[in-house]
């Protein structure tokens, strides 16, 4: 935090000091508008879970591909930094902490080095040293078998030999990774056991594909997208056999395939776990294909053609489509699309979250410019060849929707922050299918867009103030129970719970959103 503040120089400290003084004097943000229309029919239910130091980064209630999975069941959240999975019973209101398994014991030098690299004061995370709980979970997802998959650290930072150049691993031979500081695991509630999968690539977010292979794709690999074939894993328990990865190489010579050598980006890349891109293409040779580094933060799988889409957090931002083909890594091919820049004017910036509707329309939350943006690839006239090198070849595929919300004081610049977004493909909220929702992480809300009308519904959490959601999902508990049988779920995902209204001793909360037919419906 201090590092970011220092980028402003001395003026930054003056701004923060002035902000603090105004708050101490009683200044508060402008009062948000009262709910109107359908917003008056929103029902919010909350549960306390975790303790005052829990950092519950993300929650999950069901399978993205089938919202009836785990109907009425326990819900889960990952406690970042603590190395724990939290389990909540919404019927009894009881929760418990489940320590996530790791491969190494505390005496392993790699794990010890990890703790030394990232020391955490015991006041933040209880009395246990971090090295005793190094899993560092980030994002959970259900599969169709009811298991909770997560991106977690299962070992130290030293790559296995089979991941490295010179091994007989075809992916390492094709394109060696830069390493992985987080890998993959799952928890099976039926057996209360963990499965641990080492990965050669870094992991951050994760999403399942739709075929019988049950492919699980990961962001966080920096300049690669990686995956685990969970069908092969279940059959063999073989980490090397069940995983693969590909660099993001675009067909800039227009021959329909990717061949080496490539045009290469040069320059530094940002941290792989934060999804930043980097690297500039210099000395472009139009006879070659081109490897790009658009970053790797959000990831989703298109249910129409079962290919992965990813997004980085660079400026103004690019999304990309990776088709691994029939025989990866050689058959992998990528397309990259940058947010439109028209007559030198950036139309929107800061993509972060990523999802796709049942029609293959990709949605991304623009955390910087406070938009939801959709991208329709079917509108693109050009998808390969030399003209795609600047990634501006399909401006017609983009549509931007400015979200409502607060502005910076004295300006018309939006102040909200859309940490992530999600598409309600199965009418779990009761507003229909293919409804995109952005997290209003700076406005205590979830923001629901009707893409047909462009109208917004703001589902604001009025108490306790400080609802800061990083993600959400929707579950159908009983399709015949009307509004009572379906809901969207999110959680308070702030790093430090004492920033939430209530201060010291405040815990994180799980939040259930429902919409009834009218404000008085029972």
Binned at pLDDT 50, 70 and 90, residue 126 comes out as very low
Q: Higher pLDDT residue, 448 or 15?
A: 448
Q: What gap in Å lies between CA 146 and CA 408, rounded to an integer?
A: 44
Report which of residues 52 and 149 the model is more confident about.
149
The average pLDDT across 423-436 equals 97
- State the pLDDT at residue 123: 33
DSSP structural state of residue 239: H
Average pLDDT over residues 20-47: 92
* Spatial distance between the Cα atoms of 382 and 389, rounded to a whole number of angstroms: 12
Neighbours of 206 (CB within 10 A): 22
Q: What digits encode the pLDDT tens for the residues 488-521?
A: 999 999 988 988 999 899 999 999 999 999 999 8
**Over 60: is that where the pLDDT of 270 sits?**
no
For residue 461, say if its preceding peptide bond is cis, omega within 30 degrees of 0.
Answer: no
Instruction: Quickly count: other Cβ atoms within 10 Å of residue 161's Cβ.
Output: 10
What 3-state class would DSSP assign to 3?
Answer: helix
Interval 145-158: pLDDT, tens: 999 999 999 988 88
pLDDT per position as a tens digit, 184-196: 999 999 999 999 9
The 8-class DSSP code of residue 500 comes to S
The predicted model gives 399-414 an average pLDDT of 91
Spatial neighbors of 206 by CB under 8 A, at least 6 apart, are: 139, 141, 149, 150, 151, 184, 216, 217, 218, 219, 299
pLDDT for residue 279: 63
* Mean pLDDT score, 331-335: 98
- Which domains are assigned to the chain? 44-515 (2.130.10.10)
For residue 10, what pLDDT is reported?
Answer: 82
Residues 111-133: what's their mean pLDDT?
Answer: 40
pLDDT at 12: 84
Beta strands in 419-494 (DSSP E): 421-424, 435-440, 445-450, 455-460, 472-476, 486-491
Hey, how many other C-beta atoms are within 10 angstroms of the C-beta on 427?
16
| pLDDT tens string 211-248 | 899 999 999 998 999 999 999 999 999 999 999 999 99
Res. 436: pLDDT tops 70: yes
Asked if residue 275 has pLDDT above 60, the reply is no
Express each pLDDT in 388-399 by its tens digit: 999 999 999 999
Mean residue pLDDT of the chain comes to 90
pLDDT at position 115, please?
41
Residue 413 has a CB neighbour count (10 Å cut-off) of: 10
In the predicted model, is pLDDT for residue 135 greater than 70? yes
pLDDT of residue 416: 92
The pLDDT score that the predictor gives to residue 91 is: 96
Question: What average pLDDT does range 369-381 have in this prediction?
Answer: 97
pLDDT > 50? residue 381: yes
Residue 109 confidence (pLDDT): 44
pLDDT at 277: 59
Q: What would the pLDDT profile of 89-105 be if each residue is shown by its tens digit?
A: 999 999 999 999 888 54
pLDDT score of 145: 96
Is 112 a residue whose pLDDT tops 70? no
Q: Which two tokens stand for residue 374?
A: 């959709």
Neighbour-count burial of 270, counting CB atoms closer than 10 A to its CB (0-12 exposed, 13-18 middle, 19+ buried)? middle
Pairing of strands 262-263, 289-291: parallel
pLDDT digits (tens, 9 = 90+) for 163-216: 998 999 999 999 999 889 899 999 999 999 999 999 999 999 999 999 899 999
Share of the chain above pLDDT 90, in %: 74
pLDDT(31) > 90: no
Count of helices and strands (H, E) across the chain: 7, 35
3-state secondary structure 388-434: HHHCCCCHHHEEEEECCCCECCCCCCECCCCCCEEEECCCCCCCCCC
pLDDT of res. 118: 39
């Amino acid at each position: 935090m201090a590092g970011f503040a220092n980028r402003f120089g001395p003026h930054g400290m003056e701004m923060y000091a002035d902000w603090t003084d105004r708050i101490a004097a009683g200044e508060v943000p402008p009062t948000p508008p009262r709910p109107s229309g359908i917003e008056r029919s929103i029902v919010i239910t909350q549960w306390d879970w975790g303790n005052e130091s829990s950092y519950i980064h993300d929650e999950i209630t069901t399978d993205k591909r089938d919202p009836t999975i785990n109907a009425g069941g326990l819900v889960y959240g990952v406690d970042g930094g603590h190395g724990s999975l939290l389990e909540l019973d919404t019927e009894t209101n009881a929760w418990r902490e489940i320590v996530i398994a790791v491969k190494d014991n505390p005496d392993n030098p790699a794990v010890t080095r990890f703790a030394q690299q990232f020391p955490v004061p015991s006041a933040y995370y209880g009395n246990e040293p971090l090295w005793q709980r190094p899993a560092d979970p980030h994002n959970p997802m259900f599969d169709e078998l009811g298991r909770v998959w997560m991106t977690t650290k299962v070992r130290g930072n030293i790559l296995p030999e089979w991941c490295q150049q010179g091994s007989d691993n075809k992916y390492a031979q094709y394109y060696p990774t830069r390493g992985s500081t987080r890998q993959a695991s799952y928890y099976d509630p039926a057996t209360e056991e963990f499965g641990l999968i080492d990965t050669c690539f870094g992991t951050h977010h994760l999403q399942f594909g739709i075929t019988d292979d049950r492919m699980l794709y990961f962001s966080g690999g920096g300049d690669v997208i990686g995956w685990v074939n969970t069908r092969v894993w279940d059959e063999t328990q073989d980490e090397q056999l069940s995983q693969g990865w590909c660099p993001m190489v675009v067909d800039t010579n227009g021959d329909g395939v990717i061949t080496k050598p490539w045009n290469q980006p040069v320059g530094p890349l940002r941290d792989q776990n934060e999804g930043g891109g980097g690297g500039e293409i210099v000395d472009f040779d139009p006879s070659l294909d081109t490897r790009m580094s658009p970053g790797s933060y959000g990831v989703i799988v298109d249910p129409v053609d079962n290919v992965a889409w990813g997004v980085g957090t660079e400026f103004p931002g690019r999304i990309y489509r990776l088709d691994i083909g029939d025989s990866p890594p050689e058959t992998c091919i990528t397309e990259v699309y940058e947010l439109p820049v028209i007559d030198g004017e950036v139309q929107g910036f800061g993509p972060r979250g990523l999802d796709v509707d049942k029609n293959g329309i990709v949605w991304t939350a623009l955390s910087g410019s406070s938009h939801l943006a959709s991208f329709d690839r079917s509108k693109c006239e050009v998808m390969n060849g030399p003209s795609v090198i600047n990634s501006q070849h399909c401006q017609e595929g983009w549509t931007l929707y400015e979200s409502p919300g607060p502005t910076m004081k004295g300006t018309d610049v939006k102040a909200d922050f859309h940490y992530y977004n999600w598409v309600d493909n199965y009418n779990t909220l009761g507003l229909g299918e293919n409804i995109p929702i952005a997290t209003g992480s700076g406005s205590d809300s979830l923001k629901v867009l009707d893409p047909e009308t462009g109208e917004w519904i703001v589902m604001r959490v009025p108490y306790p103030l400080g609802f800061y959601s990083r993600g959400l999902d929707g579950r159908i508990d009983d399709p015949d129970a009307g509004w009572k049988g379906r809901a969207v779920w999110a959680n308070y995902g702030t790093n430090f719970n004492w920033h939430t209204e209530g201060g010291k001793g405040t815990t994180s909360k799980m939040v259930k959103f429902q919409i009834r037919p009218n404000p008085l419906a029972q």
